[in-house]
A = this chain, B = another copy of it.
Amino acid sequence: MIKILFIFFTLALGSVIKAQNITSYIQQHQGRMLEEYVKFLAIPNVSTDTINILRNADFIIRMMQERGIKAELLHGRTKGVTPAVYGEIITPGATTTIGFYAHYDGQPVNPKQWHEGLEPFTPVIISAPLENGGKIMGPYKKGDTINPNHRISGRGSADDKAGVMTILNAYEALVKTGSMLYANIKFLFEGEEEVGSIHLNEIFELNKQKLQADAWIIIDGPRHISGRKTISFGVRGDVNVHLTVYGAKRPLHSGNYGNWAPNPALHLVQLLASMKDENGKVLIKDFYNDVTPLSDLERQAITKMPDIEKRLKNELGLKETEITGKSLGESVMIPSLNINGIAGGNVGSLAANVIPVKAEAVLDLRLVKGNDWKKQVQKVINHIENRGYHVLQNEPTDEERMKYDKLIKIETKHGYNAQRTSMDLPISKMIQSAVQSTSKEPIVLIPSGGGSLPLYLFEEILGTKVISIPVVNYDNNQHAENENVIIGYLWEGIVTVAAVMKMK
């Protein structure tokens, strides 16, 4: 115990000195770093866009090579699947190994939903979010003055090319400032995170030895809303459920057939409305079962989180939250059911007087520790069946149409479970200390973030601990249109990652 405290002391002291070196190194090299980052963001990275995904992997390999890291692609068993990019630095005499993970793929984009002047894969500098009166400053050009309060707009700018960028630049800065490393360092950049990391298990199984580490550090997700530096000890699990409800085989004139032909959009809204009440409580049977209770330390950490409720509501234009009386920190410790999207017929200027042929919705189920994703999906399916639906895996056949009056197609891709690392492990406390050493304000400790990553795989297959250090701004429009990152957060992220990378 004394030894650990001693290590903390020297580590904290050393880090403060080095953090200054790192900061001035970044200041000298920020132009080049930004130039490289903008090129990286310009490569489309939707997970299903195989050709461009490989261009991203190539770009990362080049970034690594330029920094003296030997890089290679890691594949799973399945052929033709997006590879992960891997590299390692062996430190002579090191007895510990720390891995750094980020992902380079991004969520799907609908360019039409982006603000005028913004394109998902044409990164530009903006002075602030455009919806808050920000201005488009134009593309970054070599030699431009860089304002750390400005942002870069583009898919992946925050989630999670920022992870790749900060990890590799932190390593570069450590090497170039002559900092001593005490641990072996491993790098892993995944290309399928946004489609549920569906082959990460295979990559882990086939490369188990290579990926051994005392801990893997995940650089992904936003810092706490207060803006303070953050460590997150867990993530929610996640699974999407796609629902399609069917009406007549062809669109019908709503005058000639209204009242007679069933409307699938009505059926779908009735079904979805039956899943959640007006107070945000999910009405699906046993939905809140299986949850592992919080430890005292975790409960305390939640209580200590800065209170951002009022500020956040103001900023988002919300009078009330979904579950009255629950803070954001508490809300994400509860399993959730969200409607990501709903569509049937057309709205706005394309709206026509028809009874649509089908209506679709995509649900997002977030899971907490204790939940099993398959079981959670089954609860939803049971609910739907109890409402009189016949569940299909495919489009209905003519026979099925005449046999059942309520037909629904339910599609579920791979999901994954939640993960939570104990906050009182030695490695947990070392990382806390390293991150705290780079910040004057108390850092925020989150027992589990709201977002999802397949972190359980690190524990289950590799047998290592896993802890997240998010580096980007919370208002980054992650997963949505107008995604962006505050440039200064990238510089601070590099400093944070460097501090953890050189832990003893």
A79 at the interface (CB under 8 A from B): no
Check A261/B401 contact, CB under 8 A, given A272-B266, A316-B252, A340-B354. no
What B residues does A336 contact at CB under 8 A?
254, 258-259
| A366 engages B320 (CB within 8 Å) | no
A454 CA / B238 CA spacing, docked (Å): 52
Q: Looking at A251, A256, A276, A334, which has the most chain B CB atoms within 10 Å of its CB?
A: A256
Q: Which residue of B lies closest to A262 (CB)?
A: B322
User: Smallest CB-CB separation from A404: which chain B residue?
Assistant: B319
A366 touches B265 (CB 8 A): no
Interface residues of A in 206-258 (CB under 8 A from B): 221-222, 236, 238, 240, 242, 246-258
Among A254, A321, A356, A401, the one with the most B-chain Cβ atoms within 10 Å of its Cβ is: A254
Rounded to whole Å, the gap between the CB of A287 and the closest CB of chain B is 12
- B contact residues around A269 at 8 Å (CB): 268-269, 272-273, 339, 342
The number of chain A residues with a CB under 8 A from chain B is 104
Q: What 1/0 mask marks residues of chain A from 332 to 363 whose CB sits below 8 Å from any chain B CB?
A: 10101011111111111111111110011110
What CA separation (Å) do A45 and B247 show in the bound complex?
28
A285 CA / B452 CA spacing, docked (Å):
44
Complex contact A248–B479 (CB within 8 A): no
Which residue in chain B gives the minimum CB-CB distance to A362? B351
A361 to B314, CA, bound (A): 27
29 residue pairs from A and B, CB less than 8 Å apart: A131-B250, A248-B317, A253-B451, A254-B338, A255-B451, A255-B452, A258-B336, A258-B366, A259-B322, A259-B326, A259-B332, A259-B366, A260-B321, A260-B323, A260-B328, A260-B331, A268-B342, A269-B273, A270-B278, A272-B273, A313-B402, A319-B404, A339-B356, A341-B351, A341-B356, A342-B343, A343-B347, A345-B362, A347-B361
Q: A286 an interface residue at 8 Å Cβ cutoff?
A: no
- Chain B nearest CB, measured from A149 CB (Å): 18
Judge whether A250 and B347 touch: CB under 8 Å.
no
Q: 11 extra interchain contacts, Cβ-Cβ under 8 A, other than A256-B474, A345-B362?
A: A107-B353, A248-B316, A250-B482, A253-B480, A254-B340, A255-B332, A256-B449, A259-B322, A265-B341, A317-B401, A341-B350
A428: Cβ under 8 A from any B Cβ: no
Q: Which residues of B contact A107 (CB under 8 A)?
A: 352-353
- Given A255-B450, A450-B256, are A347 and B242 also a contact pair (CB < 8 Å)? yes
CB-contacts of A468-483 with B (<8 A): 474-475, 477-482
Which B residues lie within 8 Å of A398 (CB)? 317
Closest to A402 in B: B319
Residues of chain B with a CB closer than 8 A to A479's CB: 251, 253-254, 352-354
